[in-house]
Amino acid sequence: MVNQFQKVHGTTKRARYKSSFLKENFLDENLLKTELESLAGVTSVRINKKANSIVFNFEDSSVCAKIENKLSSLTPEVLLTKSKETACVSCVSSENPSFRRTAIASSALIAERFMPNDFLKFSVTAGASHPILLDGVKELFKEGLTSRVLESAAVGISIYRKDYLAANSTSAMLELGEYIEETTVHKSDDLLKELSKPNVEEAWVEREIEGKTTEILIKSKDIKIGDIVVVGVGNTIPVDGHIIDGNASVNQVSMTGEAEPIMKIRGDRVISGTIIEDGRLRIWAEYVGADTATQRIKHYIESSLNEKSSVQLKATKLADKLVPVTLGLAGTSYILTRDFERTASILQADYSCALKLATPVAFKATISKAGHNGIMIKGAKSIEALASADTFVFDKTGTLTQGELEVISVESFDDEWTSDDLLNLTASAEEHYFHPVAEAVVKAAKEKGFIHMHHEEVEFIVAHGVKTEVDNKLVIIGSRHFLEDDEKIDFSKHKKKIEKCLESGKTLLYISFDGKLLGTIALSDNLRENSKESIKRLRELGVKNIVMLTGDTKEKAEQIAKELDIDEIRAELLPTQKAKIVKELMDEGKKVAFVGDGINDAPALISAHVGISMSRGADIAKATADVSLLKDDIFAVVEAKELANKTMKLINNNFNATVGINSAILAGATFGLFSPVVTAMLHNGTTIGLLLNSIKGVKV
């Protein structure tokens, strides 16, 4: 994708550009900001994604040439490569969280008890504690009063008082807590690291060489949209696309969490990163390079792992506010009692550790666990919004229904044409067209022994249908509007039959031959088997209102609503009306989750408090959603809601426990009930316990 940009305003030290790059919803603006700020001479960059604008501040106007050169060279691949390099650096630093400092502090705690004199005890304790002391001093000058400063002060005072047991106990507990946090973050980022691995470097594609179709091996980065990619047993699929020939057993566990391989046949969609276990496929490449599912999801997760929710920000803000309180109590206690031991005890009883660590760890653990189960959650804010959602709005097709049309009847209006003839004619024209209606017709024809009818070149008219010629006579296949209004085909003789079919809830495909309406093919999109169970479970999870949106007739919509126990329906809708309805519900004070899968669902997915896209949905729907499902199962919506509810309950319980337990510890230390050693054990033990609770508390 080429970045189109335009300079709209500029001074000697400032310029504003419009950039088409910012229309790509899946791109992380922070990553783009970092890349642009790396330019020599640029002092700051501000990005307004809604306005598609970038504001640069620089040293002098000569920098504009560098800026424009950089903007012209930007592509998704460039940013994703930078993202990959950054991820790899972080992977190296946290690849194996080091237990070294914890081991040293623990060894000092034991060794100090056997030292014969104070000098040796001081040397061992100071040597083991110096990383904490140095970190505290650095943070004091860089960040001001923080929990790390208090911890450092507590250790320093204990060493000054020659209470080496307290100093070493505190150091050992702090280092153990730090190690557990690093280990947790390392584990929660496993999915990102897995997706950051190099992609398939080479792939076999078909090329025309000297009039013959030949398979050649090329670099994956050179694959273009429309190429035919050939993938065999044991190979990883390098593109997103449709199968045009062959069948295979595909292992999708890395992308969807499905343990069992899935059989894929002609017309099915396959995604990059999945592996063929048995069979061979010819795939029409629809998305390549940075546009493939693997790369978009990788970037999706990278952005989500660093996002903070309002609960997390609240915990951090409260923790920062309580640091001066703890320090003030310690100072007041020393002034009144001149007791350094009591002062050291108070400094140990800090709220910050548990408040700041447990919440993000819980969010990260949930995001990672959900990801491995085929549910991609875009950050802590999405979890929070999903947990509070009390109204779920479903776009019917592809969510509550299977999204796969099935031919249920074929009716010919001409005695010379049997229903099988009509089906064969339609399938012959539609067989190279990747559309749900076309695929359903071809599938039905094959089941009845498809006999191909020779036809001329097929013309595809988007959102209408197809045209071709058979025996020099025009064949038109498509919607009623296309045939009756655009092509002026007479429907009057068969209106009663057509209306009867429509009243029964069938979707009709119309076929004309030589200027006459030849017949209809009735199709149906069946409800998913677990749609009713999913809606029932959502109610049990606190959802008060279920709404269904559909373009179907009101009668058909009411039948489905009754069967699924849906509270409210909006029928006969235009695609553009979905977002408006979502906003209306939000204006009524409802917390809205929208579930959809189509291109026209993107505005509603963005408008809702939380948008959920189905696995087989359009790429734009996945890019704009807060939660993207990688498995084709409506119950995954329930799993996502349940995960969000459990996570927020866990965080609230941790929050209350932190405030309650640490307040009790602080009160005990203030009144001299706890020694520094006891306070350190209680405080740090609480922090470690809450961390462990955050790690294991939410189960998929």
The residue type found at 211 is: G
Contacts by residues 160-165 (CB-CB < 8 Å, ≥ 24 positions apart): 160/340, 161/340, 161/341, 161/344, 162/118, 162/121, 162/122, 163/341, 163/344, 163/676, 163/677, 164/112, 164/121, 164/122, 164/124, 164/125, 165/109, 165/112, 165/113, 165/677
**How far is residue 501 from each of residues 308, 421, 507, 513, 563, measured CA to CA in Å?**
52, 21, 8, 21, 20
**How far is residue 468 from each of residues 276, 473, 624, measured CA to CA in Å?**
36, 8, 37
Q: Which residue matches tokens 């804010």? A: 381
Q: What is the DSSP string of 41-102?
A: TEEEEEEETTTTEEEEEESSTTHHHHHHHHHHH--HHHHHHHHHHHHHHHHHHHSS---HHH
The residue type found at 380 is: A
Half-sphere exposure in the Cβ direction for 342 (13 Å, CA):
17
How is residue 520 written in tokens?
Answer: 């209809």
Residue 368 burial class via C-beta count within 10 angstroms: exposed 0-12, middle 13-18, buried 19 and up:
buried
How is residue 510 written in tokens?
Answer: 């119309």
- Considering only CA atoms, which of 449, 365, 338, 410 is closest in space to residue 643? 365
**How far is residue 401 from each of residues 84, 157, 404, 512, 628, measured CA to CA in Å?**
38, 67, 8, 29, 18
**C-alpha 650 chain-centroid distance:** 22
Identify the active-site residue in 163, 189, 291, 395: 395
End-to-end CA distance of the chain: 37
DSSP SS3 for 582: helix
How is residue 138 written in tokens?
Answer: 């650095």
Q: What is the dihedral of CA 71, 76, 82, 83, to 10 degrees?
A: 130
Q: How many helices (H) and strands (E) does the chain have?
A: 25, 24
* Torsion sign over Cα 217, 220, 223, 229: positive
- Considering only CA atoms, which of 162, 168, 150 is closest in space to residue 330? 150
How far apart, in whole angstroms, are the C-alpha atoms of residue 614 and residue 597?
A: 5
**How far is residue 303 from each of residues 31, 81, 399, 626, 647, measured CA to CA in Å?**
9, 15, 26, 12, 19
189 labelled catalytic: no
**How far is residue 700 from each of residues 303, 372, 594, 647, 667, measured CA to CA in Å?**
22, 9, 22, 11, 39
Q: What angle do CA 397, 399, 405 make, to 5 degrees?
A: 45
Q: Are 304 and 28 in contact (CB under 8 A)?
A: no
- Considering only CA atoms, which of 458, 448, 404 is closest in space to residue 428? 458
Q: Are 468 and 513 in contact (CB under 8 A)?
A: no
How is residue 163 written in tokens?
Answer: 């209470």
Q: Are 231 and 243 in contact (CB under 8 A)?
A: no
How far apart, in whole angstroms, are the C-alpha atoms of residue 509 and residue 465?
A: 9
Angle between helices 164-188 and 676-696 (to 10 degrees): 10
Radius of gyration, CA atoms only, the chain: 32
Active site residues: 395
